[in-house]
């Protein structure tokens, strides 16, 4: 008597199950190595403790242009990358309006049509002491910006103290950013 032949179709469910079981640890390993998309908040900025990178030389309309000198005045300040087409930017905008009464807040308009950026500020209010436009995201690369919104806390000496990718909320401001500011203030 000959042995019955095992069909590949009979082994297929077992092979699929084995691939799935083995892929879970591999996916976790790749994620931990930073090789898979994950929480961008978990990615540290290489710029923490370093001077701010170059700023876009292009103004946004007639608004005051953000310059490097504005970020080294001896005050802690905020730099926010934003765009008119960005829904989370719209959601976080009232927070910047409030913060602008407490410290300098600066904006960099990211990959946006200048007229739409100006329209956004006309509609929502302009919390920015000065603004620069980065329509092709050339300086955003120097800052390590992944997308908008993205917020940086700048020390009194012009160094980057903190980076927050994604929408800023009051909870994030109070639990993550304020402690950094208080520590920097001594």
Q: At how many degrees (to 10) do helices 87-99 and 114-124 cross?
A: 50
User: By C-alpha distance, which of 129, 99, 96, 136 is closest to 114?
Assistant: 136
Q: How many Å apart are CA 163 and CA 166, to the nearest integer? A: 10
Q: What is the mean pLDDT of the chain?
A: 86
Q: Does pTM top 0.85 for this prediction?
A: no
Q: E strands of the chain, at which residues?
A: 77-82, 105-110, 130-134, 150-154, 160-165
Per-residue model confidence as pLDDT tens digits over 87-140: 999 999 999 999 999 999 999 999 999 999 999 999 999 999 999 999 999 999
186 against 178, higher pLDDT: 178
Q: Which residue in 95, 98, 88, 99 sits closest to 150, CA to CA?
A: 88
């Amino acid at each position: 008597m000959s042995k019955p032949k095992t069909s590949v179709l009979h082994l297929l469910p077992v092979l699929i199950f084995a691939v799935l079981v083995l892929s879970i640890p591999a996916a976790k390993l790749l994620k931990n190595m930073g090789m898979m998309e994950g929480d961008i908040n978990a990615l540290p900025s290489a710029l923490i403790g370093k001077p701010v990178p170059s700023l876009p030389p292009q103004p946004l309309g007639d608004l005051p242009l953000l310059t490097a000198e504005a970020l080294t005045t001896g005050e802690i300040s905020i730099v926010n990358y934003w765009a008119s087409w960005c829904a989370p930017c719209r959601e976080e905008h009232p927070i910047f309006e409030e913060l602008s009464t407490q410290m300098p807040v600066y904006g960099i308009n990211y990959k946006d049509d200048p007229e739409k950026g100006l329209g956004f500020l006309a509609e929502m209010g302009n919390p920015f002491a000065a603004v620069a436009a980065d329509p092709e995201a050339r300086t955003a690369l120097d800052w390590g910006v992944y997308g908008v919104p993205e917020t940086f806390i700048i020390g009194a000496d012009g160094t980057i103290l903190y980076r927050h990718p994604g929408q800023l909320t009051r909870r994030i401001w109070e639990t993550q950013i304020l402690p950094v500011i208080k520590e920097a203030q001594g």
